[in-house]
């Protein structure tokens, strides 16, 4: 790897020279027969893809992209993603089943990974990032040369040697990758997406194809719908979003005036709202940073996207490759990643100090995704899972060192996309209504609930019918009930829409079974999901997605526990947004709601960190003036002795819908039971308004 600190001009010249040499050599591969036929076919396919990327580079560089018609752009866009679309995935080298079948078990996994990494050229093309193009072209040639050398000796290439080539590629380029990602996160000057948002004619839908993301009817339909909306409604959506961000700082007793940047994350098609939000943030004194969702080994690959993103061409492809790091992950690589991350934050520490946090626009409405588990896909060993979990904890500590949790905030809002069904426009309007409900009304009702809960020492949550939930939640002792409270009165700030009261339970004394018949978490479906808790920690779990207990447990450990052996109950909450619940039932979209809205439609528990992670020492007050004292649990308190044991860098909410809910009640020290919800209805005095919406449920 060349010196990172040579002049920019010299670096660009060197990269251009090396890139031309690499592409020149790759042009020769389709005409060669140096390897066994199946292997040569693979490398011809890889060469064709790189040459397609080189062609695309020239289309973008010469501004030909901007001169294409909408039909031409659609053809061009499909050509980039066609190979991994579901219709073609059966014969794609991105499919580990196909790669292993053609190339053998060990080599198939390695070469399938190589192909997925070459696909990281697509964003490089549109952002005109020559370095990212170069390192992937050179990686292909290095692996190809290993096969040629083996063939010349009438031998099979050694899989371990190929793995080592891939290993050192990852290790060598972590540093520039972290520098690039950190700069994109913290520096408004990296304005690739922002220029598209602010400078495009948004009535001309060709702009959607300038990002380089896959574009489906969802993105086109969303953009069309927003273009048809009156300006006042766009402003209402944007104002709710940006005001929620501002209120989040105020409610958390954090000073927004010292912040200079906000990271905007969104799905393509929402540019009209985002443009207004950028203007709003500018009035607050915040400049936007906008980076692309991860698409390579350095940024991570997942079904759930984090950044700006278009349509997912194939969720199974992302799921198949989400653990590709299993090919290399070891202690040395973890240490390398952490060093590179710290170096990147150190380089941009001034920018990190004025970074406010993310403002997220989530989308929902696509067909629920139930992944297929494949024996051919890479899966981390138990040792690697522990390394991955340890990395997440230590990486979180590094981020918190430069962007302290006590000084940053966030906000999240969600909207549907056309895939949600024929009544998309009606649903969209109803979600806008839900996102802009009168928070003062809910604030008052929720205070009634908090006052009742604060009288309890425990809270009991029980399911009804087939729901087996039976949880006992232990609450913190209030030393001065006139001035202290256990529950935060959450309205429309960081988590939009309005509608929950939440606390961090005492782990000792928190126990039982949490069960839901069907739930969607981070883009994945879970059927008959249950978790058992002892002393506030997950002690057992299962679901019925797959044929065997082993598969079901692995699914949960990978995607809810995030490779940890156990996690604590980080949050207990009661969702009060009965209007959202009714909308879900009216349109039959309960299975498509994101966690953000679903968590407001019933009581929920979160496994992982508390809601106050890394900000426990910031004093926070409810609107009634009482201080929220339940910000810690026995695990998070370990930060004072060993910060690496205090946090898990995950927080997953699991909601029990009202129609599966038997009872929520507070039990006082004297044994009195104060019932909040019974048989899916709020029975506490002062909560009658919430039942009016429930009475409309079909």
Please name the helix (run of DSSP H) or strand (run of DSSP E) that holds residue 606, with its range, or none: strand 603-608
- What are 215-230's pLDDT values in tens digits? 999 999 999 999 999 9
Read off the tokens for 386: 């522990």
d(CA 532, CA 565) in angstroms, rounded, equals 13
**Which of 4, 396, 345, 394 is closest to 172 using CA atoms?**
4
Residue 698 has pLDDT above 70, yes or no: no
d(CA 414, CA 598) in angstroms, rounded, equals 11
Q: Are strands 537-542 and 524-534 parallel, antiparallel or unpaired?
A: antiparallel
Read off the tokens for 253: 């007793």
Three-class SS string for 174-220?
A: HHHHHHHHHHHHHCCCCCHHHHHHHHCCCCCHHHHHHCCCCCCHHHH
Residue 381 buriedness (CB in 10 A; 0-12 / 13-18 / 19+): exposed
| Mean pLDDT of the residues in the chain | 94
Q: Average pLDDT for residues 76-89, to the nearest whole number?
A: 97
pLDDT recorded at residue 194: 97
Contact by Cβ (8 Å): 31, 148: no
- What are 7-39's pLDDT values in tens digits? 788 888 899 999 999 999 999 999 999 899 999
Three-class SS string for 328-392?
A: CCCHHHHHHHHHHHHHHHHHCHHHHHCEEEEEEEEEECCCCCCCCCCCCCCCCCHHHHHHHHHHH
Contact by Cβ (8 Å): 516, 529: yes
Band of residue 642 on the pLDDT scale cut at 50, 70, 90: confident
pLDDT recorded at residue 406: 87
**Which of 252, 247, 664, 240 is closest to 488 using CA atoms?**
252
Give every CB contact of residue 190 below 8 A, 6+ residues apart in sequence. Answer: 183, 184, 289, 291
d(CA 461, CA 528) in angstroms, rounded, equals 18
pLDDT recorded at residue 292: 97
Q: Average pLDDT for residues 458-486, to the nearest whole number?
A: 96
What is the secondary structure of 398-415 as a DSSP string? HHHHHS-TTT---EEEEE
Please name the helix (run of DSSP H) or strand (run of DSSP E) that holds residue 25, with its range, or none: helix 8-26
pLDDT recorded at residue 572: 97
Q: Average pLDDT for residues 203-216, to the nearest whole number?
A: 98
Residue 1 has pLDDT above 80, yes or no: no
Residue 4 has pLDDT above 60, yes or no: no
Alpha carbon of 670 to those of 207, 458, 678: distances in Å?
A: 65, 12, 21
- What are 342-382's pLDDT values in tens digits? 999 999 999 999 999 999 999 999 887 888 989 999 999 99
**Which of 520, 358, 482, 497 is closest to 436 using CA atoms?**
497
Share of the chain above pLDDT 90, in %: 83
Q: Are strands 355-364 and 411-416 parallel, antiparallel or unpaired?
A: parallel
Q: Average pLDDT for residues 449-462, to the nearest whole number?
A: 97
Residue 197 has pLDDT above 80, yes or no: yes
d(CA 652, CA 129) in angstroms, rounded, equals 35
pLDDT recorded at residue 2: 46
Residue 502 has pLDDT above 50, yes or no: yes
pLDDT recorded at residue 492: 65
Q: Are strands 355-364 and 261-267 parallel, antiparallel or unpaired?
A: parallel
pLDDT recorded at residue 21: 97
pLDDT recorded at residue 40: 97
Read off the tokens for 49: 């893809």
Q: Average pLDDT for residues 439-452, to the nearest whole number?
A: 93
Give every CB contact of residue 439 below 8 A, 6+ residues apart in sequence. Answer: 491, 492, 498
Share of the chain above pLDDT 70, in %: 99
Band of residue 274 on the pLDDT scale cut at 50, 70, 90: very high
Band of residue 617 on the pLDDT scale cut at 50, 70, 90: confident
Sign of dihedral through CA atoms 96, 100, 106, 111?
A: negative
pTM of the full predicted structure?
A: 0.89
- What are 529-576's pLDDT values in tens digits? 999 999 999 999 999 999 999 999 999 999 999 999 999 999 999 999
pLDDT recorded at residue 5: 57
Q: Average pLDDT for residues 292-314, to the nearest whole number?
A: 90
Alpha carbon of 333 to those of 3, 175, 232, 278, 327: distances in Å?
A: 20, 12, 51, 38, 11
Q: Average pLDDT for residues 497-526, to the nearest whole number?
A: 92
**Which of 555, 565, 489 is closest to 524 using CA atoms?**
555
- What are 89-121's pLDDT values in tens digits? 999 999 999 999 999 999 999 999 999 999 999
């Amino acid at each position: 790897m060349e010196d990172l600190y040579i002049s920019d001009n010299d670096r660009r010249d060197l990269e251009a020279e090396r890139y031309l040499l690499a592409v020149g050599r790759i042009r020769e591969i389709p005409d060669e027969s140096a390897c066994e036929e199946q292997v040569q076919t693979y490398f011809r396919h890889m060469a064709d893809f790189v040459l397609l990327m080189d062609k695309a580079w020239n289309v973008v560089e010469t501004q030909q992209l901007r001169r294409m018609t909408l039909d031409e752009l659609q053809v061009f866009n499909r050509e980039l993603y066609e190979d991994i679309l579901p219709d073609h995935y059966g014969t794609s080298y991105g499919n580990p089943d196909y790669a292993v079948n053609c190339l053998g078990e060990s080599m198939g996994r390695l070469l399938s990974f190589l192909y997925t990494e070459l696909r990281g050229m697509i964003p490089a093309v549109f952002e005109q990032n020559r370095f990212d193009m170069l390192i992937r072209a050179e990686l292909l040639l290095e692996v190809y040369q290993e096969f040629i050398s083996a063939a010349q000796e009438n031998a099979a290439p050694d899989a371990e040697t190929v793995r080592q080539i891939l290993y050192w590629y990852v290790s060598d380029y972590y540093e520039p990758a972290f520098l690039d990602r950190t700069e994109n996160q913290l520096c408004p000057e990296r304005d690739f997406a922002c220029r598209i948002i602010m400078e495009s004619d948004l009535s001309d839908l060709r702009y959607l194809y300038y990002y380089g993301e896959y574009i489906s009817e969802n993105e086109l339909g969303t953009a069309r719908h927003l273009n048809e909306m009156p300006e006042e409604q766009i402003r209402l959506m944007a104002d709710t979003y940006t005001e929620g961000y501002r209120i989040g700082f105020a409610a958390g007793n954090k000073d927004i005036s010292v912040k200079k940047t906000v990271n905007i994350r969104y799905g393509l098609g929402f540019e009209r709202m985002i443009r207004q939000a950028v203007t709003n943030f500018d009035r607050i004194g915040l400049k936007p940073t906008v980076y692309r969702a991860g698409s390579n080994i350095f940024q991570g690959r997942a079904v759930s996207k984090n950044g700006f993103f278009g349509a997912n061409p194939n969720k199974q492809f992302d799921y198949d490759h989400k653990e590709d790091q299993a090919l290399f992950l070891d202690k040395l690589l973890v240490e390398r990643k952490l060093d590179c991350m710290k170096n990147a934050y150190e380089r941009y520490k001034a920018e990190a100090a004025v970074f406010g946090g993310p403002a997220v626009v989530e989308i929902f409405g696509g067909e629920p995704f139930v992944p297929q588990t494949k024996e051919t896909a890479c899966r981390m060993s138990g040792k690697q899972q522990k390394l991955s979990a340890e990395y997440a904890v230590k990486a979180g500590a590094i981020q918190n060192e430069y962007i302290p949790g006590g000084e940053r905030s966030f906000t999240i809002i969600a909207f549907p996309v056309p895939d949600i069904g024929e009544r998309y426009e009606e649903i969209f309007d109803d979600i806008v209504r839900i996102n802009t409900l009168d928070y003062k009304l809910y604030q008052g009702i929720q205070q009634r609930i908090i006052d009742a809960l604060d009288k309890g020492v425990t809270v009991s949550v029980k399911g009804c019918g087939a729901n087996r939930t039976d949880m006992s939640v232990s609450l913190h002792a209030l030393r001065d009930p006139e001035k202290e409270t256990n529950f935060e009165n959450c309205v429309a700030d960081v988590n939009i829409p309005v509608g929950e009261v939440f606390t961090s339970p005492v782990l000792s004394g928190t126990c039982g079974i949490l069960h839901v018949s069907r739930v969607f978490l981070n883009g994945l479906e879970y059927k008959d999901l249950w978790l058992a808790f002892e002393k506030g920690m997950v002690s057992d779990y299962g679901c019925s997605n797959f044929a065997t207990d082993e598969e079901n447990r692995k699914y949960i450990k990978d995607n809810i526990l995030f490779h940890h052996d156990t996690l604590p109950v980080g949050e207990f909450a009661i969702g009060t947004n009965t209007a959202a619940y009714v909308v879900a039932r009216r349109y039959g979209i309960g299975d498509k709601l994101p966690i953000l809205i679903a968590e407001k439609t019933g009581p929920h528990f979160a496994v992982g960190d508390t809601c106050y992670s890394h900000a426990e020492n910031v004093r926070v007050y409810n609107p009634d003036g009482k201080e929220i004292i339940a910000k810690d649990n026995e695990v998070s308190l370990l930060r004072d002795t060993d910060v690496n044991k205090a946090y898990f860098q995950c927080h997953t909410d699991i909601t029990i819908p009202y129609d599966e809910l038997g009872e929520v009640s507070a039990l006082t020290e004297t044994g009195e039971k104060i019932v909040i919800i019974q048989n899916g209805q709020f029975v506490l005095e002062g909560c009658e308004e919430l039942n009016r919406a429930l009475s409309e449920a079909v």
